[in-house]
Structure 1
């Protein structure tokens, strides 16, 4: 009887902890234009401290590394530090190339695009221009467990991957509009068969498969985005959107 009471008490404590998790998001804005042009808007989690901290650390990690000019990722750097480093790199560039009229840019636009009791999805759109033929734009989806703040990996979100891949490939063929009408699947995937992207997001319209520039096809193809309605893929989801 004593063991049963302990188990019931533990279960109630776990349930209470889950019920106590509260999260909201506020927009943080950073802007600097004296040297490099830097504009950063991103959602910052507030509420249950341990959960919010996990989410915010991951958001800052992704944004900071989008502005990172080094060849290796920065694991422990804040957005403010990344902004300062990007600006310092531009100043160094100007000292070395005083005749250049090139002004560096770093822009980030982040927002919460989907929330449910089982998942929070954030979209981070980043753009950097440090010279060259064109700047580099990228969209990143981050999917979080709202109870723990942990970042979901693809294996945490999808099941029966072989079957799901077939459904995704059919949707890809229906929704993709290649610049060249004679393009084949191998042309998109550099001689390979269809591949799922690393970037998967949740929206009100359905699950989004997103391929950034250079991940498939050529740069002129731009970002390729495929949307799968939830009612068509519910058997392949491990979370309930």
Structure 2
């Protein structure tokens, strides 16, 4: 009797398990530092699987952290790893102390990451950074990263929303409620989508960083629109 059907069954079993492992993505919190580092804290999620999905996600997270720690021209980033960025930040601080020894203000940088949402279709991760280089106040910034759950490739905001104009109508009512007691630069008629948005358990998160639609004193404006209000308006289903 031919053994070919038996081998086919084995191959199908291995293929199904391979596909299952590709989508069963797990994350762990990772602390990154370097010797002699005293002013930079980095705690970010890391995709644990050793497949292309994890590699794509981790590469984008690392790039975001490197950018958040960069000082100087935003288009000239020489660091190729988070460790190099930490060392460069400490070196900049040490040079500043050497040039201005009378300055008592210490620099600090803290970067934290959180997996906001994960499904087979889409993964949303927030990277929060706070950087203070001795000014009147530090800079708090949040970047929301969205990834295709099957490939790990980054998703542009334009790919998340199916019907932008109808979506903006829903957005405006929630924005008005979130800012009714706040000082903002814009009104509902001129309101644009934020630079950062993504999925969460509470709904579709809209996040306006400082200076995006309001002064620094107002802080970050963030709210979630329930998924049931966005039925048919998003390109990815929520679970």
Q: Does 1:121 align with 2:124?
A: yes
Bigger drift between 104-113 and 12-21 goes to: 12-21
Give CA deviations for 1:161-180 in whole Å, capped at 9, x if unaligned. Answer: 01111110111112323335
Give CA deviations for 1:173-228 in whole Å, capped at 9, x if unaligned. Answer: 12323335xxxxxx522897111101002111100100011111111111101210
Give ranges in structure 1 of 5+ residues lacking alignment: 1-11, 181-186
Bigger drift between 131-140 and 188-197 goes to: 188-197
Partner residue, 1:26: 28
SS in 1 for 2:26: strand
1:76 deviates by 5.9
Alignment check: 8 A CA contact 2:117 2:123 kept: yes
Alignment check: 8 A CA contact 1:67 1:86 kept: yes
Alignment check: 8 A CA contact 1:178 1:221 kept: no
Partner residue, 2:218: 221
- Structure 1 Cα separation of the partners of residues 50 and 151 of structure 2: 10
Partner residue, 1:7: none
Give ranges in structure 2 of 5+ residues lacking alignment: 1-11
Runs of 4+ in structure 1 over 4 Å off: 12-18, 31-36
- Structure 2 Cα separation of the partners of residues 87 and 193 of structure 1: 42
Equivalent of residue 99 in structure 1, options 97, 102, 108? 102
| Residues 191/151 of structure 1: CA separation in 2 closer, same or farther (3 Å cut) | same
Alignment check: 8 A CA contact 2:129 2:142 kept: yes
TM-score of the aligned structures, taking structure 1 as reference length: 0.85
Alignment check: 8 A CA contact 1:27 1:41 kept: yes
Alignment check: 8 A CA contact 2:37 2:86 kept: no
- Structure 1 Cα separation of the partners of residues 41 and 178 of structure 2: 33
RMSD: 2.4
TM-score of the aligned structures, taking structure 2 as reference length: 0.86
Alignment check: 8 A CA contact 1:108 1:127 kept: yes
Partner residue, 2:161: 158
SS in 1 for 2:27: strand
SS in 1 for 2:152: coil
SS in 1 for 2:232: helix
Alignment check: 8 A CA contact 1:23 1:48 kept: no
SS in 1 for 2:235: coil
- Structure 2 Cα separation of the partners of residues 202 and 179 of structure 1: 25
Q: Does 1:205 align with 2:202?
A: yes
Equivalent of residue 40 in structure 2, options 16, 19, 38? 38
| Residues 192/134 of structure 1: CA separation in 2 closer, same or farther (3 Å cut) | farther
- Structure 2 Cα separation of the partners of residues 164 and 156 of structure 1: 13
- Structure 2 Cα separation of the partners of residues 216 and 75 of structure 1: 31
Q: Does 1:130 align with 2:133?
A: yes
